Amino acid sequence: MKSLSNLTLSLLKQGADPGQILVKLALRNALLGCETILDIGCGAAPTMRQLEVSHCVGLEGYRPSFEDAQRLNTQDEVICGDLRKLTDYFKPGQFDACIAMDVIEHLPKEDGLKLMRDMEMIARRKVVFFTPNGFLPQKQSAESDLQAHFSGWEAEEMKRHGYKVLGMLGPKSLRGEYHMLKRRPKVFWGMISILDQIFRIHRQPEKAAAIFCTKTLSDSKY
């Protein structure tokens, strides 16, 4: 997997949002030692290529994003399917890690909890969620694009499910739909959010705009 300094430099050269760079660095750290990754709701983002994981499989339910992921080769394999039916596509212990970045909030609560259980069964070592902290209203931007939010997930709730939780993207008051900054100038408030995350918010996830949740599983179940 790409070194920390090389990854940071590469993302900066690509003009990535500094706040999202910190999310990707957290993901890189969470996936250390994991060779096979299932990226649920992968979209067409090149995150797995940027992290240089050994083998990545993506599951995407929105066909245009699925086709974009295929065209851009963002995963080693991409499957177009319903994330509510993970066990129809994958076997227990098939991957070292399962990740769902900005996904679980798009499901009603009951379906989100089932997704969590399924991911914990399919993964051998790690399960990772990244999601807004609490319910964040969001509408779909195009017909059937699956972008509407139907549930909220808070830090204490994820801790009760056995996850280690970090606060991300600065304080909750600064960001809205799609994690976009609400105040201008965005460059200034973006720096404020990053500094706040580094020095305070990562230790106080209940006050953060988003939460990064990691569960380490026992290999003994296999």
Tens digit of pLDDT for each residue in 117-131? 999 999 999 999 999
What pLDDT score does 11 carry?
45
The answer to whether residues 169 and 23 touch, using CB atoms and an 8 Å cutoff, is yes
Domain ranges of the chain: 4-162+212-217
Classify 22 as helix, strand or coil.
helix
Q: Above 90 in pLDDT, residue 41?
A: yes
Distances 103 to 24, 106, 132 between C-alpha atoms, Å: 15, 6, 10
Q: Above 50 in pLDDT, residue 193?
A: yes
Average of per-residue pLDDT values in the chain? 90
Quick one: which H or E segment has residue 115?
helix 109-122
Cα gap 213→205, rounded to integer Å = 10
The predicted model gives 175-198 an average pLDDT of 88
Q: Above 70 in pLDDT, residue 1?
A: no
The predicted model gives 58-85 an average pLDDT of 96
Tokens of 42: 């992968």
- pLDDT band of 5, cuts 50, 70, 90: low
Task: Count CA atoms closer than 13 A to 147's CA, side-chain side.
Answer: 12
pLDDT (tens digit per residue) in 125-152: 999 999 999 999 998 877 667 789 999 9
Distances 174 to 52, 54, 179, 205 between C-alpha atoms, Å: 31, 36, 9, 14
Cα gap 49→86, rounded to integer Å = 23
Considering the chain, what percentage of its residues have pLDDT values greater than 90?
A: 73
pLDDT (tens digit per residue) in 72-106: 999 999 999 999 999 999 999 999 999 999 999 99
Cα gap 203→76, rounded to integer Å = 35
CATH number of 4-162+212-217: 3.40.50.150
